[in-house]
Amino acid sequence: MHREMRIKMPEEIFIVLKKDDRELSGEILQKAAIQYYIEKELSLERAAFMCGLSRMEFIDVLYRLHVPIFDYSEEDLEEIHRERDEILERVRVK
């Protein structure tokens, strides 16, 4: 189910951005979905659904915009690398 909402936008914005109603509304919706995803208010799947994309299409958009898909802290990454090194060391020993 979908709900429709209306947004008033000054005509000047359409002229400056050189967009028609459909283009601009699609871009606004996509940018909102991305921002909600970045702020962790929507999951990847729900953000993709919000702007009418599949998960893979939404991941492609995020990739093109250099938006991280995985949110690892520096400590998480260090632990992952440590574990990787330990596994590689065990494999080399055998």
Does the pTM surpass 0.75? The reply is no
- Summary mean pLDDT of the chain: 90
Locate the domains of the chain by residue range. 11-69
DSSP per-residue codes, 21-89: HHHHHHHHHHHHHHHHHHTTSS-HHHHHHHTT--HHHHHHHHHHTT--SS---HHHHHHHHHHHHHHHH
Note the pLDDT tens digit of each residue in 23-57. 999 999 999 999 999 999 999 999 999 999 999 99
